[in-house]
């Protein structure tokens, strides 16, 4: 195997997860190397450069907590940081901890094969260079493999085609007729800037989402100073809390309050950010009746912002509980939909039938378009992992193992794939939490595991099938106690025969952390160490 560089650990991806993983492994004395497809660090924040891209978790919470020096050096400018600022932050982190010298950029990992005789992973890339490593850590991100729908006749289209997650800023939108597909978090953010530049924007919507006002603002000095004083305690509360956020749900059940009190509380929470309304009562994600009150309130608020009754009808979310699909936050989205140069097409009542050279045909109309923008999301939780041809014991393929729905012990490890770890993998809180909190927890657990293995002279670690089965049963049971399974959403994977598999763990960040720690303390119960 000459020509292959050998490391203790190869980490795939240089976003929030990969950067901290590299730092932590180095600190623990491992020879680690990161392979990254992009030309720079940042992961999702490197690729998602569409106009309006912004984090909808408050900046102070959506940042690393592992270094108090870093916390003191960095000053966020807004309550919700825009993509350029987050990317600058991650570049700053990479420089501050001198991480780039151990990252190979512009290189995509294409395959990884476990060599059971050597107890090593052989990692191949699209650049022809490869690696050998004892451990392989996938820091590939849960929302990083963009999805584009297969639309009839799209090959006839002669204009430019963009995806929000692979934005090409060279495409000029000024004065053009633009078609946008998708009204999830990305579509809702990109709509206002598109409408400002385009001569005409046509939004093709399939499922309307609930969006609440982002209520973004500059972080003033007072607010910043106060946040410093309370930061350590609030960080700890987030680690031990349910969703990894500073704010927690308010006590009580919505259905038990009087209509006046409920209205008052919903109004208080309406401007409290992305999860604000969901935090109005502690039962909103588990009780249908309470949730229906919150959903009705949100529908009324949305209707107040739009004049055209037809647009209101189309854009009002119906048929699923509030919060069972990812809540979106908006800065001028509904106002923009209200504009006369913005058309809203419901593709369920008016399906797309084809494309012309510069337009889109539906069953009812032809809409002009010189640019098509897809804000159609990601192959969530698994797409970036399945894009790599990963072969474990006896040549088992991870893609095939997951063809019937993804499964992993603690969302961290899969039987028959020794020494392979997935950061924020399926079966962990991941996308249903403040993901930076979840990333830090996984990184620290993996570093501890590798350090313990080294201390006890163990070369391999592999999750057992029984532990994984029990864990995934638990993930499923907990999800069934909530309203999440009541919606079609990207939180679900699919089995071969089309059944839904709920992917994130909704038992809470704090309890999940305690379980992981307890398993480590019990000599890594559920894992075979060899």
Kindly tell me which residue out of 159, 182, 317, 426 binds ligand N01, with binding defined by CB under 6 A.
Answer: 182
Between residues 206 and 500, which has the closer beta carbon with respect to ligand N01?
Answer: 206
Tell me the three state secondary structure of residue 504: coil
Residue 181 found at the interface with ligand N01 (CB under 6 A): yes
45 neighbors 15 (Cβ within 8 angstroms): yes
Q: How far is the CB of 375 from ligand N01 (least distance, A)?
A: 5
Task: Work out how close the CB of 246 gets to ligand N01 at its nearest, in angstroms, rounded to a whole number.
Answer: 16
Q: Is 162 in the site for ligand N01 (CB under 6 A)?
A: no
Q: Which of 51, 58, 141, 184 binds ligand N01 (CB under 6 A)?
A: 184
User: Which CB, 319 or 530, lies closer to ligand N01?
Assistant: 319
Sole residue written with tokens 């025969």? 497
Nearer to ligand N01, 202 or 290 (CB): 202
Choice between 17 and 55, CB closer to ligand N01? 55
Q: In the bound complex, what is the minimum distance in angstroms from residue 378's beta carbon to ligand N01? A: 6
Using CB under 6 A, which of the segments 168-176, 184-192, 249-257, 493-501 binds ligand N01? 184-192
| Cα 438 from Cα 429, distance rounded (Å) | 7
Of 76, 131, 204, 421, the residue at the interface with ligand N01 (CB under 6 A) is 204
Q: Does 246 bind ligand N01 (CB under 6 A)?
A: no
Q: Are 280 and 294 in contact (CB under 8 A)?
A: yes
The two tokens of residue 71 are 């916390």
What part of residues 423-442 is at the interface with ligand N01 (CB under 6 A)? Answer: 431
Closest CA to 469 of 409, 509, 524: 409
55 is a site residue for ligand N01 (CB under 6 A): yes
Between residues 54 and 100, which has the closer beta carbon with respect to ligand N01? Answer: 54
For 13-60, where are the E strands, in sequence order?
32-35
- The total of other beta-carbon atoms located within 10 Å of residue 288's CB is 12
87-109 exposure pattern, b = at least 16 Cβ within 10 A, e = fewer: bebbbebbeebebbebbbeebeb
Could you tell me the CA-to-CA distances from 117 to 87, 388, 390, 407, 461 in Å, in that order? 41, 22, 17, 26, 15
Cβ burial, residue 54 (10 Å; 0-12/13-18/19+): buried
Q: Which of 144, 185, 191, 419 binds ligand N01 (CB under 6 A)?
A: 185
- Stretch 122-151: interaction string toward ligand N01, x if CB under 6 A: ---------------------x-----x--
Spatial neighbors of 92 by CB under 8 A, at least 6 apart, are 74
Spatial CB neighbours of 130, under 8 Å, sequence gap ≥ 6: 3, 4, 5, 122, 123, 124
Q: Is 291 helix (H, G, I), strand (E, B) or coil?
A: helix
| Residue 196, H or E segment | helix 185-197
- Supply angle C-alpha 259, 264, 268, rounded to 5: 145
Among 326, 386, 407, 513, binds ligand N01 (CB under 6 A): 326
Q: Binding to ligand N01 by residue 56, rule CB under 6 A?
A: yes
Comparing CB distances to ligand N01, the nearer of 63 and 189 is 189
**Interface residue with ligand N01, options 183, 191, 200, 434 (CB under 6 A):** 183
- Which listed range, 204-212, 303-311, 456-464, 469-477, lies at the site for ligand N01 (CB under 6 A)? 204-212
Nearest residue (CB) to ligand N01, 415 versus 426: 426
Could you count the other beta carbons within 10 Å of the beta carbon of residue 252? 16
Residue 408 CA to residue 386 CA, distance in Å, equals: 14
CA-nearest of 281, 247, 234 to 57 is: 247
Bridge partners (DSSP) of residue 383 are: none
- Rule CB under 6 A: choose which of 445, 490, 491, 512 binds ligand N01: 490
Q: If phi over 0 gives left and psi between -120 and 50 gives alpha, with beta otherwise, what is residue 240?
A: alpha
What is the smallest separation between the CB atom of 57 and ligand N01, expressed in angstroms?
6
H-only helix segments in 350-430: 383-386, 398-401
Count of residues in contact with ligand N01, rule CB under 6 A:
24
Extended beta strands in 66-213, E state:
103-104, 109-115, 120-125, 130-138, 160-163, 177-181, 200-205, 211-213
- The nearest distance, CB 56 to ligand N01, in angstroms, is 4
Using the minimum distance from each CB to ligand N01, give the nearer residue, 321 or 526. 321
Stretch that binds ligand N01, among 202-210, 360-368, 397-405, 436-444 (CB under 6 A): 202-210
C-alpha span between 21 and 7 (Å, rounded): 14
The residue among 184 and 415 lying less far from ligand N01, judged by its C-beta, is 184
By beta-carbon proximity to ligand N01, the closer residue of 187 and 510 is 187
The nearer residue to ligand N01, 4 or 387, going by C-beta atoms, is 387
Find the binder of ligand N01 among 52, 159, 187, 323 (CB under 6 A).
Answer: 187
* One character per residue 337-376, x = contact with ligand N01 (rule: CB under 6 A): ----------x---------------------------xx
- 143 versus 439: smaller Cβ distance to ligand N01: 143
Q: Footprint of ligand N01 on this chain (CB under 6 A)?
A: 54-56, 143, 149, 181-187, 189, 204, 206-207, 326, 347, 375-378, 431, 490
């Amino acid at each position: 195997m000459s020509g292959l560089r050998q490391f203790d650990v190869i980490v795939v991806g240089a976003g929030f997860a990969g950067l901290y993983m590299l730092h932590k492994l180095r600190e623990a004395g491992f020879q680690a190397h990161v392979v990254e497809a992009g030309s720079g660090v940042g992961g999702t924040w490197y690729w998602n450069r569409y106009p309006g891209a912004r984090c909808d978790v408050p900046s102070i919470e959506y940042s690393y907590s592992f270094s108090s020096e870093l916390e003191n050096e960095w000053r966020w400018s807004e309550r919700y940081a825009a993509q350029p600022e987050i990317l600058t932050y991650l570049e700053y982190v990479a420089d501050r901890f001198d991480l780039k010298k151990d990252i190979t950029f512009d290189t995509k990992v294409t395959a990884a094969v476990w060599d059971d005789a050597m107890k090593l992973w052989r990692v191949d890339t699209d650049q022809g260079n490869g690696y050998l490593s004892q451990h392989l850590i996938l820091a590939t991100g849960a929302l990083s493999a963009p999805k584009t729908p297969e639309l009839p006749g799209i090959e006839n289209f002669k204009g430019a085609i963009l995806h929000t997650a692979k934005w090409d800023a060279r495409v000029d939108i000024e004065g053009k007729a633009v078609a946008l597909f998708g009204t999830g978090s990305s579509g809702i953010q990109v709509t206002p800037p598109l409408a400002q530049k385009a001569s005409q924007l046509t939004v093709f919507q399939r499922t309307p989402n609930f969006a609440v006002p982002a209520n973004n603002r500059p972080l003033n000095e007072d607010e910043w100073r106060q946040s410093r004083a309370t930061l350590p305690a609030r960080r700890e509360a987030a680690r031990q809390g349910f969703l990894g956020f500073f704010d927690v749900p308010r006590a009580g059940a919505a259905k038990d309050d009087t209509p006046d009190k409920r209205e008052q509380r919903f109004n208080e929470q309406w401007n409290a950010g992305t999860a604000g309304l969901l935090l109005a009562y502690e039962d909103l994600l588990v009780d249908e009746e309470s949730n229906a009150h919150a959903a009705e309130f949100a529908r009324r608020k949305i209707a107040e912002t739009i004049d055209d009754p037809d647009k209101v009808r189309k854009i009002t979310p119906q048929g699923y509980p509030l919060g069972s699909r990812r809540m979106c936050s908006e800065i001028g989205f509904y106002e923009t939909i209200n504009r006369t140069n913005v058309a809203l097409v419901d593709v369920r009542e008016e399906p797309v039938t084809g494309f012309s050279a510069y337009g889109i045909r539906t069953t009812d109309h032809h809409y002009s378009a010189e640019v098509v923008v897809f804000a159609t999301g990601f192959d969530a939780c698994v797409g970036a992992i399945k894009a790599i041809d990963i072969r474990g014991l006896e040549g088992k393929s991870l893609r095939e193992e997951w063809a019937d729905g993804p499964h992993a012990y603690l969302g961290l490890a899969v039987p028959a794939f020794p020494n392979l770890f997935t950061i924020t993998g399926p079966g962990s809180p991941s996308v249903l939490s403040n993901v930076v909190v979840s990333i830090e927890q996984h990184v620290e657990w993996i570093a501890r595991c590798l350090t313990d293995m080294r201390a006890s002279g163990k070369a391999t670690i592999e999750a057992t099938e029984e532990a994984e089965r029990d864990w995934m049963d638990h993930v499923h049971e907990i999800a069934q106690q909530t309203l999440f399974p009541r919606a079609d959403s990207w939180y679900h994977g699919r089995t071969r025969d089309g059944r839904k598999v709920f992917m994130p763990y909704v038992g809470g960040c704090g309890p999940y952390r305690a379980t992981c720690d307890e398993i480590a303390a019990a000599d890594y119960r559920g894992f075979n160490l060899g």
